[in-house]
Chains A and B, each alone.
Chain A
Amino acid sequence: MSKRSNWSAPYAVFLLLFVVLPLLLVAMYAFQDADGHFTLANFGKFFHDPDALKTFAVSLEIAIETTALCVLIGYPAAWILASKKYNRSAVTIVLFIMPMWVNALMRTLATSQLFMMIGVPLGKGTLLFGMVYDFLPFMIYPIYNVLSKMDKSYAEAAQDLGASPGTVFRKVTLPLSMPGVWSGVLMVFMPTVSTFAISEFLTNNKFKLFGTIIQDNINNGMWNYGAVLSLIMLVIIGITSLASKQKGAEQSENLI
């Protein structure tokens, strides 16, 4: 039995080489100047660059707004899809996931062309629309999953004890579905905060997001500065994933 644990060895080596080492390299390049000497100047450059700071703030704002919109639009959709009363076929949820099989860049381009054709100027509004359009399935699916597996007897018990449908939803269904909401938040926030090509298409390059600056720097050979920006992004991602994991765990602990 113990010998078969050795089967994980090749993958362990692979992970070390292609996951751990690359991340260490990001950190290493972040603390080096172009000649390979230790420096903190790359961080100084970021914190003294008003453009970069502004882009950073805009990216966070757009990501938070996209995530919030996805919850607001996606939760009711997931709830309807999971309720036996309103939707009896399992195919409808598949319809929401299907568009994702078409190349995301192509879909985004078509969206922006569609906006141009009906005369909507490209800007923040179209950016938010496009982002919600691209990432909504990532919000609907986890919420739908939790809701459709939920034990209905809790809601029925609350109802039998005299709670109104609104109270049942507020006190029972919503809290029980929060783990799904948190995993949806994670799955939408992460890609939106780091996106680059999509934002260029949807705003005609009017809006620069954080991902775009990382790409610009790496492509123009400014690896060290690009590495600092990536490291900052990693910190944001780390904080969000820890926070949402803890939230999700807390929610399910409190309830069961």
Chain B
Amino acid sequence: MKKFLAKSYIWILLAVMYAPLVFIAVFSFTESRVLGEWSGFSTQLYQNILTGDMQGASSLTDAVKNTLIIAVIAAVVSTLLGTIAAVGIHNLRGRKRQVISFVNNIPMINPDIITGVSLFLLFVFLGVTQGYTSVVLAHITFCTPYVVLSVLPKLQQMNPNIYEAALDLGATPAQAFRKVLVPVLKPGMVSGFILAFTMSLDDFAVTFFTRGTEGLETLSTYIYADARKGGLTPELRPLMTLIFLIVLILLFVINVRQGRLARRREGAAKVAL
């Protein structure tokens, strides 16, 4: 009985949480311009998306493109910057380390709107024209701290003697970095990259304040502007449904692979014993 109650609590919560998503998915199969109005089954919206023929919503294609380009650049740069910074921070001691760790935490604790407003004021103050560059710089600012925090634990787990041994055996610092540090840090870098990429994709507030006035739109700002005008571009419905499906499949694949890897390791351990 208790078990039944506990299970139903979880499933009711999940049902409520997924209701809006199911709602979007269901109404992605009808052409009506208004979300929530059923005008007969149709896959027209999916065709529009897949053929890229958005019928008057071509700026949506641009918004998707901008979102992806910005996320890729921001994630790559913040992964590199954050990894190098983490190696530096790991080797810092005392006061300096405390200060840089504290400042590294600020963008994570700061609400998006404050990060956005403060960076907006920075670009105004420096006289930088706001657009692609300012948005990318802003995204790097709030993404890098997450990379630093993903890479640091890997450094703490590492045996420091290995790096020193590589140097003693005649490797140049660059070689030692590539052959010793990078393999150890890789899992941290990958999870940092994924975090940075998704944070950038999902950002609205920071982009909103730093994109300038030249009409640069990402998916978030596009949806916001669209909603303020009073109607959502119908193609957003199949787009969101597809994004969700892709995430679902990715997670499923990752789970299955991890399960298989774990089983293989177990098997190997048994053989070794």
Verify that A and B bind, or say they do not: yes
Chain A interface residues (CB < 8 Å from chain B): 1-2, 4-12, 14-15, 17-23, 25-26, 29, 73, 76-77, 80-81, 83, 85-87, 91-92, 94-96, 98-107, 109-111, 113-114, 116-117, 133, 136, 190-191, 193-197, 201, 211, 214-215, 218, 223, 226-227, 230, 233-234, 237, 241
Contact B7 A26, beta carbon cutoff 8 Å: no
Picked from B92, B113, B202, the residue with its CB within 8 Å of the CB of A104 is: B202
Which residues in A have their C-beta under 8 angstroms from that of B91?
1-2, 4-5, 7-8
Task: Take A196-B205, A197-B204 as given contacts and tell me if A103 and B10 are in contact as well, using a CB distance cutoff of 8 Å.
Answer: no
Contact B114 A230, beta carbon cutoff 8 Å: yes
Chain B: CB-nearest residue to A74: B13
Which residues in A have their C-beta under 8 angstroms from that of B14?
95-96
Picked from A11, A117, A211, A215, the residue with its CB within 8 Å of the CB of B81 is: A11
Contact B20 A114, beta carbon cutoff 8 Å: yes
- Which of B102-110, B183-191, B265-273 touches A? B102-110
Task: Take A20-B103, A110-B21, A197-B224 as given contacts and tell me if A29 and B111 are in contact as well, using a CB distance cutoff of 8 Å.
Answer: no
Contact A111 B85, beta carbon cutoff 8 Å: no
- Say how far A152's CB is from chain B's closest CB, in angstroms: 18
Which residues in B have their C-beta under 8 angstroms from that of A15?
100, 103-104
Chain B: CB-nearest residue to A245: B109
Interface size class of B (residues with CB under 8 A): 35 or more
- Say how far A208's CB is from chain B's closest CB, in angstroms: 14
Picked from A18, A86, A194, the residue with its CB within 8 Å of the CB of B119 is: A18
Say yes or no for B171: interface residue by CB 8 A criterion.
no
Further 6 A-B residue pairs, CB within 8 A, beyond A104-B204, A133-B20: A22-B121, A26-B117, A91-B255, A113-B23, A133-B17, A237-B110
Interchain CA distance A76-B12 in the complex, whole Å: 13
A-B contact pairs, 26 of them (CB 8 A): A2-B91, A4-B91, A5-B91, A5-B96, A7-B88, A10-B81, A11-B82, A11-B148, A21-B122, A25-B121, A76-B9, A77-B13, A86-B6, A102-B24, A103-B220, A105-B227, A106-B236, A110-B23, A117-B36, A196-B205, A218-B120, A233-B111, A233-B113, A234-B114, A237-B111, A237-B114
Task: Take A7-B85, A87-B10 as given contacts and tell me if A98 and B100 are in contact as well, using a CB distance cutoff of 8 Å.
Answer: no
Contact B198 A101, beta carbon cutoff 8 Å: yes
Task: Take A19-B103, A103-B220 as given contacts and tell me if A26 and B243 are in contact as well, using a CB distance cutoff of 8 Å.
Answer: no
Contact A22 B219, beta carbon cutoff 8 Å: no
Chain B: CB-nearest residue to A93: B10
- Which of B39-47, B51-59, B68-76, B244-252 touches A? B244-252
Contact B137 A227, beta carbon cutoff 8 Å: no
Say yes or no for B130: interface residue by CB 8 A criterion.
no
Which residues in A have their C-beta under 8 angstroms from that of B7?
80, 86
Say yes or no for B118: interface residue by CB 8 A criterion.
yes
Say yes or no for B193: interface residue by CB 8 A criterion.
no
Interchain CA distance A234-B224 in the complex, whole Å: 25
Contact B85 A11, beta carbon cutoff 8 Å: yes
- Say how far B30's CB is from chain A's closest CB, in angstroms: 13
Interface string of B103-147 (1 = CB under 8 A from A): 110110111111001111110110000000000011011001000
